[in-house]
């Protein structure tokens, strides 16, 4: 863990092959994402043939306490499962009142967001854009470019924590599909309201 002030060069540290300035390297393969993609048959057929890496996260470790900032790179590789673009699992922060900033370094994608009041948003991004994810909004990165990684730099409060369970069981309200040569945000027919407490 880095304890002194430090700097890093995002311009030249985009490669995930070297260790770079990052402390941890999380790899999410297709097999880690069972249940996340809408087309279950396409998922199983693809997994039968291969188990591609869908996304990777490189983190700069800091204590997970308020006052700290956690940051790193999120890299979503190009591809689709059926008509649905490669994407991250997506999550709420366990501490709902914590926001996040994404700065887009490479590629073309969508930051898909929704809150528990039923609102949703899809911000289309290209390099140079920043997305502000407000407190209480679940967020997922979707790679729309079929030949290029979507690379973003993220920063969020140290005590935020991750709640994957809500999205894993309910899904996002919207799916992002490749339709007629472009992308379309459509209702998720499998979305169900989250189970209430108890
Ligand atoms: C990001 C995400 C990263 C991977 O660091 O964790 O993009 O997405 P999932 O965590 O949904 O698999 C972030 O939003 N952190 O809070
Ligand atoms: Zn987050």
Question: According to the CATH classification, is domain 24-187 in 3.40.50.1100?
Answer: no
Three-state secondary structure call for residue 186 = strand
DSSP states of 20-82 as a string? Answer: TT-SEEEEEEGGGGTTTSS-HHHHHHHHHH---EEEEEEEE---SSTT-EEEEEEEEPS-EET
Count Cα neighbours of 79 within 13 Å in the Cβ-side half-sphere.
19
Other CB atoms closer than 10 Å to residue 2's CB: what's the count? 11
95 C-alpha to ligand 1 centroid (Å) = 14
Those residues whose C-beta lies under 8 Å from the C-beta of residue 149, and which sit 6 or more positions away, are 75, 76, 77, 78, 106, 107, 143
What pTM was estimated for this model as a whole? Answer: 0.95
Instruction: Reply yes or no on whether the pLDDT at 148 is more than 60.
Output: yes
For residue 72, the ligand 1 atom closest to its alpha carbon is 5
Choice from 53, 54, 57 to test ligand 1 binding pocket (greatest atom count within 8 A of CB): 57
* Mean pLDDT across 123-138: 98
- The backbone torsions φ and ψ at residue 134, rounded to the nearest 5 degrees and listed phi first, read -70, 165
Tell the residue nearest (CA) to atom 2 of ligand 1: 74
Average pLDDT, the chain: 93
Residue nearest to atom 7 of ligand 1 (CA): 74
pLDDT > 70: percent of the chain: 93
Reduced to 3 states (helix: H, G, I; strand: E, B; else coil), residue 166 is: helix
For residues 129 and 20, which has the higher predicted lDDT (pLDDT)?
Answer: 129
CA of 90 to the centre of ligand 1 (A): 7
**Ligand 1 atom nearest to 164, measured from its CA:** 11
Q: Indicate which residue's Cα is closest to atom 4 of ligand 1.
A: 88
Residue with the bigger pLDDT between 110 and 6: it is 110
Query: What average pLDDT does the segment 119-138 reach?
Result: 98
Query: For residue 156, how far is its CA from the centre of ligand 1 (angstroms)?
Result: 10
Tens of pLDDT, residues 27-74: 999 999 999 999 999 999 999 999 999 999 999 999 999 999 999 999
* N-terminal to C-terminal alpha carbon distance within the chain: 39
């Amino acid at each position: 863990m880095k304890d002194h002030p430090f700097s890093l060069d995002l311009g030249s540290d985009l490669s995930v092959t070297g260790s770079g300035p990052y402390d941890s390297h999380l790899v999410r393969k297709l097999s880690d994402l069972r249940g996340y993609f809408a087309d279950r048959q396409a998922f199983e057929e693809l997994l039968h043939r291969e188990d591609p890496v869908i996304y990777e996260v490189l983190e700069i470790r800091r204590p997970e306490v308020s006052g700290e900032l956690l940051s790193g790179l999120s890299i979503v590789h190009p591809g689709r499962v059926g008509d649905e673009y490669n994407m991250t699992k997506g999550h709420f922060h366990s501490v709902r009142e914590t926001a996040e900033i994404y700065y887009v370094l490479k590629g073309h994608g969508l930051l898909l967001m929704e809150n528990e009041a039923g609102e949703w948003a899809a911000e289309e991004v290209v390099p140079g854009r920043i997305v502000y994810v407000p407190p209480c909004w679940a967020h997922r990165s979707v790679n729309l470019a079929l030949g290029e990684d979507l690379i973003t730099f993220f920063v969020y409060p140290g005590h935020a924590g991750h709640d994957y369970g809500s999205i894993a069981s309910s899904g996002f309200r919207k799916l992002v599909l490749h339709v007629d040569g472009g992308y379309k945000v459509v209702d998720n027919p499998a979305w169900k309201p989250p189970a209430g407490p108890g």
